[in-house]
């Protein structure tokens, strides 16, 4: 099982991330694309709805994902004052994009404009929180407890 390790020392298997993308894509037929990128915009995993007209080239997608990652990193500069962002929604003329930062990865979703974006955004956030965020808090807590126990044994 290949792991994606980020600077926060959170580990996600690519299989877990792929399963999350598949689950989100299946939540609503109006969701076109689900992908997870690094904080530099590198695509780790993706899933696209089959049979839809492609709106942008793969090269343009890469550029768009890098721009998304940059925007998320810039918004994080204000987390101390404003609190972290759970997700952002961009409602464009041709489609909707919903961005969910988690750890140093970013979940990116595009959908048709008639998607109930308010309802689906909170549903996806709850799913992300249950499958990834809370799991990694538990891993971090176990790691911290192990470190404390090791220090106590050394003393």
pLDDT in tens, 30-52: 999 999 999 999 999 999 999 99
Closest CA to 23 of 131, 137, 139, 138: 131
Q: What is the pLDDT of residue 10?
A: 55
The CATH code of the domain that includes 147 is 3.30.450.30
Domain that holds residue 120: 3-154
| 124, two tokens | 């996806």
| 113, two tokens | 């404009």
Closest CA to 34 of 52, 59, 7: 52
Structurally, how many domains does the chain consist of? Answer: 1
pLDDT in tens, 49-106: 999 988 899 999 999 999 999 999 999 999 999 999 999 999 999 999 999 999 889 9
| 18, two tokens | 């792929």
pLDDT at residue 1 tops 60 = no
The pairs formed by 61-64 with CB atoms below 8 angstroms and a separation of 24 or more are: none
pLDDT tier at 2 (50, 70, 90 boundaries)?
very low
pTM (predicted TM-score):
0.80
């Amino acid at each position: 099982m290949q792991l994606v390790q980020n600077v926060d020392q959170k580990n996600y298997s690519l299989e877990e991330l792929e399963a999350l993308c598949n689950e989100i894509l299946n939540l609503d037929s109006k969701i076109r694309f689900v992908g997870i990128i690094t904080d530099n915009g590198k695509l780790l995993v993706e899933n696209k709805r089959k049979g839809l007209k492609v709106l942008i080239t793969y090269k343009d997608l890469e550029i768009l994902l890098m721009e998304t990652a940059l925007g998320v990193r810039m918004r994080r500069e204000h987390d101390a004052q404003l609190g972290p962002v759970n997700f952002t929604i961009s409602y464009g003329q041709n489609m909707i994009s919903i961005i969910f930062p988690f750890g140093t990865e970013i979940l990116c979703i595009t959908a048709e404009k008639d998607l109930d974006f308010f309802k689906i955004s909170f549903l996806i956030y709850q799913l992300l929180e249950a499958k990834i965020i809370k799991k990694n808090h538990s891993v971090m807590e176990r790691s911290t407890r192990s470190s404390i126990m090791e220090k106590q044994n050394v003393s």
